[in-house]
Chain A
Amino acid sequence: MSRAARRSISGLLLAALLAGCQALPPAGQAEEGDREFLSALATRYEALGASEAEQYDWPDSWWYARRAVRASAGYPVEPVDPATRALSGPARENLGSARADLLGVLDGGGRILAPEPSARAQAAFDCWVEQQEEGWQTADIEQCRSEFVQALGEARLAARSELVVLLPGENGAGAVAVQTRGGRQALDRPYAASASSSPDAVPADRGDLSPAAVSGLFGDALNAVPQAPVSFILQFEAGGQDLTDASKQVLLDLTADIRRRRVPDLTVIGHTDRAGAAPSNERLARSRAETVARLIEAEGVPAGAIDVKSFGETDPLVRTADGVAEPRNRRVEVMVR
């Protein structure tokens, strides 16, 4: 049979398998972040399938083709388990521990952080097992084994490196710098990432991560981010404990926000303007903060969850000379967390 004819047969097989896969439920689909790995894996399995076909090994060719189809359709494909193959005791043990190493790297972030080497390592592992089971092409066994070792080493290095990635924020501005004994790297655009393999290594530019890779690596932590804290400013009429009319509305927003939180805790800081003496302003600011704290307690927040502070006239919103009355400085700041 000509090579072209063989290709078209395996092409037909692939097409048939693909058609069958479309009916599969999406429930088994791998995480978004594994896509790059699975697509590299599909390419590797296709190549192995084609090479088996060239050697007229139809069952193995079919087996690799099936794996390629599953991977390219986005379904997880695990490295073959040597326990299911006809192998000698020592070979099975050796391959079993190699598989455990491989899974350690793949599950430890390798699929996302080093998709290409991880795919190469898994395909080479399956090839190693298959050749070992056949047991007579010593050079082929060695070739698959050494490719496995080399690719796994590469994937392991990436998976064992520390990773820092800048996340998109509300106002986009911001930067982080990663510093090791070996050097420093600044990250200043969303999804830019840095990898550090050791305390002495220079932090390496990892290129940008995809949003899917970030959710794959950090999805659990991202889901655990608490509700964002919110700050409110309440203003007072001169000298006393009365909220301005506008601030009575702010107080309603404040209490509504508190009710949306499961375990709110708050800091309430009182401030005055610079009219009057500093010590009496300290007391006035405290009593204003306490007034607000009591209004919040009335909403059912336990007193223990409210931290009341007075900054007196020391932290004005608007700078003035001493003795100047400034309505904007007569305020209570509330941070709801």
Chain B
Amino acid sequence: MVELVLFVIFAICALFGAVTMVWARNPVYSALGLMLTMFSLAVFYVSNAGHFVAVVQVIVYAGAVMTLFLFVIMLIGVDKAEDRSETLPLQRPAALVLLALFAAGVLVAGARAWTTGYTAPGEAVNGTIEAIGSRLFDTWLLPFEVTALLLIIAAAGTIALAFFRGDGEEG
């Protein structure tokens, strides 16, 4: 029961943050809305026994990534008015009709328990740092190492882009 109440509260928070992100004229409000969504998602991870994932979500997403976004928004200016007119006249009503159909489909499907699978036999999944870490360095060792390679490539690429000048010269 408590879980359901928490879910409803934070689902509303997450949806509010997401809609704010999409609709806000000011990009700073968009970034803050996404931050609210990320915090709400961390609550859902905890309610699904993903404690370590929740901590990573808050530190990496709500902390590092959103700070980076806010820095870039401040760098490239926040007061640019955005043109919201559509070039295709029928696009918006058609999109609304399709959205209504899709939402109805999702809600109807969600109202019936259509998820099947080999459900957990009593013992819940363990989401502590210890359990996740031992799995990460055991079963998922190769993907984990590939992730390290990916991060190094991303960091090197970012530095290379930062050094790039318009005339093609390095420095």
- A and B interact physically: no
Chain B interface (Cβ < 8 Å from any Cβ of A): none
Chain A interface (Cβ < 8 Å from any Cβ of B): none
